[in-house]
Amino acid sequence: MEPDGTRTRAAARVVLLDGAGRVLLVRGTDPERPGQRWWFTVGGGRGADEPAREAAVRELREETGLLAAPADLDGPVWVRTAEFPFYGRSCRQTEEFFVHRVAAGAALTREGWTQLEHDTLTDVRWFTPAELAGVAGAGEAVYPPDLPRLVADLPDRWDGPPLPVR
């Protein structure tokens, strides 16, 4: 925690793509800010000594029920630091994004969700790139804000350093 009370943490996120070219996003809300919602990628906080790739695999399993090995992930493809309010506190989160590809129709489950996730996550949905651009264009918050373009520009296999995104 910062001296000003800002909660800081490192996070690992997964851009989950299926064989139909869709990306899986989760819709969240903050009970302290009724009516505000946003879409974002699977993932969450890392343990103090937890490597980002291992945290991404753990978060993928907890939030979707899908199993992967750390070596199955591409990336990290993007990095960013996000600042946002949540539960009445200011948060600063440094995020590393990995890509994981699954077959279309992969079965998902919410069985690994924590109580906080049950309280704050309201939907899970696959989006085509066009649908995602439409959601963002209609004014719904999507994080990272450039996600529609970023997903559309992902190569079949990542072989470079992570790109900074906003």
Predicted local distance difference test score (pLDDT) of residue 88 = 82
* Domain count along the chain: 1
Q: What angle do CA 57, 59, 61 make, to 5 degrees?
A: 70
Average pLDDT score over the chain: 92
The answer to whether residue 136 sits within a structural domain is yes
Q: Which residue range forms the structural domain that includes residue 136?
A: 7-159
Q: What is the DSSP letter of 161?
A: P
* Residue 131 pLDDT grade (very low, low, confident, very high; cuts 50, 70, 90): very high
26 touches 39 (CB < 8 A): yes
Where does the chain have alpha helices with state H?
Answer: 52-64, 115-120, 129-137, 147-152
Give the rounded distance of the alpha carbon of 93 from its chain centre. 12
28 alpha carbon, distance to own chain's centre: 11
- Report pLDDT digits (tens) over 50-80: 999 999 999 999 999 999 999 999 999 999 9
| pLDDT tops 80 at residue 82 | yes
The answer to whether residue 93 is domain-embedded is: yes
Q: Is residue 107 part of a domain?
A: yes
Residue 165 lies in a domain: no
pTM value > 0.85: yes
113 in a domain, yes or no?
yes
pLDDT at 3 over 70: no
**What value, to the nearest 5°, has the Cα angle with vertex 33 and ends 93 and 148?**
55
- Written as six digits, the tokens of 137 are 């264009």
141 in any annotated domain: yes
For 142-157, what is the mean pLDDT? 93
Q: Which pLDDT does position 67 carry in this prediction?
A: 96
Mean pLDDT, residues 4-17: 91
Domain assignment of residue 2, yes or no: no
Residue 164 is assigned to a structural domain of this protein: no
**CATH assignment at residue 19:** 3.90.79.10
